[in-house]
Structure 1
Amino acid sequence: MVIQMPPKETSPRPFLKWAGGKSKLIQQYIPYFPKDYQTYYEPFLGGGAVFFYLQPNTAILTDINAELINTYCCVRDNVDELILLLKEHKKRHNKDYYYSVRNNSNGTNLEKAARLIYLNKTCFNGLYRVNSQGNFNVPLGRYENPNICPENLLKLASKVLSQVEIHQADFTEVLNRATSSNDFVFFDPPYHPISDSSYFTAYSQNCFTKKDQELLRDTCAELASRGVKVMLCNSDSEFIKKIYTEINFERYTIKAARSINSNIKNRGMIDELLITSFDNQEFKSQNSEVSVDFVRMTSE
């Protein structure tokens, strides 16, 4: 059985490019998603690829990034007005205009949302990065004709988000909500570095440290003790393997393309981990029929 994705033109999908986005990994994730749950939680929302693929009936989406959450809320609640602002950005786009917009973070919530989308569509590699003062500092990208106003995509996203709860929160806030096997939580945190040179923590003003990774592990363990279905991804590093071995979570190897690197020679396929609190017996029984590139890890 080969699992097919719905056509891109008619299916909701991320409207933002985001470092570590999961759109290209969904095919490998499909066999591991739990089959039965009522409420979906995504505490590191980012580009929201998993949410847009699953399209759950009930969902609570959160992120610590206030600009990102504001943008999702505007797409959900005021997409037509947002599109008008993006069309204006598109008309005026050039190098000088890009930097004038980048250097001005003031405005209404709608103007801030349009600014983020505009910068995301025109900056280098679609990379979200802020400096120590919290100011977006990515240079202009080299695009012939950037898709600054993806009108249909935004309207599809708005429709799917229409009944979804969205708010700014730290990832531990999910402990106040998810309480039983009716809940499914997907965590896509900033990855622990495989090496010192691969460290990327500029997702927000706050670095994601080893202590944060351990707090996330403890959060996952607490959720699992309640029967909550937990899935998370992270780097294939010895530290991550160790801390999730300690709580007896299932671990799988996923093949991912490394695309954000200034040196093209350092791009290519790497291993990542997909970690779950549950053992998908249904998938195991159908293993021989599913066409997915994955390798099950053995315990150390």
Structure 2
Amino acid sequence: MKTILRWSGSKTRLLPDLLKSKPKNYERYVEPFAGSASLFFSIEPNEAILGDLNTCVMEVYQAVRDDPTGVHETLCSIPKTKDAYYMLRGLSPSDLTRLQRAARLIFLMKACFNGVYRTNQLGQFNVPMGDKIYSLPSKEELLIAQSLLQRTQLYNQDFSKTTALCKPNDWVYFDPPYKAVKRYRGEYGYESKSHNVLFDELVNDAQRLAEIGCYVTISYAFDEELIGKFCGWNFLHVNARRSVSGSMKERKLAKELIIQNY
């Protein structure tokens, strides 16, 4: 199963390494920074928790869980044109139903520049259209996604509230925003935590989860400070190509870490 959302920072390119390193026996999958949830859709867990502070993202999963046919029909009603993109971008989500908001975000992310989610300080999506519209999820794909999401708890909240729900033998996958990001893109609202605060809280939370018997996996940009925080854990060094830059020449391989306590 492929992810529904196109998303800059998605770990699609790391999936082979993440799948090889998943725990052999776990009871429930937990992803506190869901985003496009590419690993979730790839492993198709029997029981899961997905959480994200981005309300628009979680509304997509809620709408697909409750009415995948309605989401598909709404997507099909959108003309695949530049004019339609900018018309949708200019709409206020508060004027739309949840179903319309979900279809709108799926379409915008499939058509926007590099799959970047960015808002201004008023919460308005302001990414220009890219050079093409990527294929939208089919009705069959949305129905499969519904079957997965119906056995998943969905939460629109801070990651720490999601991890507070964890119990022994859960597999917790952290895919947080990187603290080295130069420009804040408004993914979680401009009043949200700084990346440095988030970094410290995540380290403490991951160690707590390990102590109670969870399997913990973290994917992150190569960071010496982070390595020093997890003495005794296992580290896999991988290379992943960056996809955010506007120039293909600038999309170089970057060092990534997969950190695990098992």
User: CA separation of 1:207/1:175 partners in 2, compared to 1, >3 Å: closer, same or farther?
Assistant: closer
Which of 175, 199, 214 is residue 182 of structure 2 equivalent to?
Answer: 199
Q: Which amino acid letter does the alignment assign opposite residue 178 of structure 1?
A: C
Q: Which amino acid letter does the alignment assign opposite residue 23 of structure 1?
A: T
Which of 235, 240, 243 is residue 256 of structure 1 equivalent to?
Answer: 240
Match of 2:48 in 1: 59
Match of 1:267 in 2: 251
Match of 1:185 in 2: 172
Match of 2:141 in 1: 153
SS in 2 for 1:241: helix
Q: For 1:108-257, list aligned pairs within 5 A.
A: 108-143=97-132, 146-148=134-136, 150-180=138-168, 182-193=169-180, 198-202=181-185, 203-205=187-189, 206=192, 208-245=194-231, 248-257=232-241
TM-score by length of 2: 0.92
SS in 2 for 1:29: helix
List per-residue Cα deviations over 1:212-261 (Å, max 9, x = no partner): 1010000001111111111111110223223334xx43222112111111
Q: Which runs of 5+ in 2 are unaligned?
A: none
Contact 2:48 2:153 in 1 (8 A): yes
RMSD: 1.7
Q: Which amino acid letter does the alignment assign opposite residue 16 of structure 1?
A: L
Query: Matches of 1:236 and 1:276 in 2, distance apart?
Result: 14
Whichever of the two has the greater Rg, that structure is 1
**Following TM superposition, by how much is the alpha carbon of 1:155 offset from its aligned partner in structure 2, in angstroms?**
2.3
User: CA separation of 1:162/1:190 partners in 2, compared to 1, >3 Å: closer, same or farther?
Assistant: same
Q: Which amino acid letter does the alignment assign opposite residue 174 of structure 2?
A: F
Q: Indicate yes or no: 2:3 matched with 1:17.
A: no
Query: Matches of 2:70 and 2:153 in 1, distance apart?
Result: 20
SS in 2 for 1:70: helix
**Following TM superposition, by how much is the alpha carbon of 1:200 offset from its aligned partner in structure 2, in angstroms?**
4.8
Contact 1:190 1:208 in 2 (8 A): no
SS in 2 for 1:227: coil
User: CA separation of 1:167/1:233 partners in 2, compared to 1, >3 Å: closer, same or farther?
Assistant: same
**Following TM superposition, by how much is the alpha carbon of 1:149 offset from its aligned partner in structure 2, in angstroms?**
5.0
Give the aligned length: 257
Contact 2:114 2:244 in 1 (8 A): yes
Contact 1:201 1:207 in 2 (8 A): no
Contact 1:233 1:274 in 2 (8 A): yes
Q: Which amino acid letter does the alignment assign opposite residue 24 of structure 2?
A: K
Q: Which amino acid letter does the alignment assign opposite residue 199 of structure 1?
A: K
User: CA separation of 1:114/1:239 partners in 2, compared to 1, >3 Å: closer, same or farther?
Assistant: same
List per-residue Cα deviations over 1:49-73 (Å, max 9, x = no partner): 1111221111011111100000011
SS in 2 for 1:231: strand
**Following TM superposition, by how much is the alpha carbon of 1:126 offset from its aligned partner in structure 2, in angstroms?**
1.9
SS in 1 for 2:77: helix
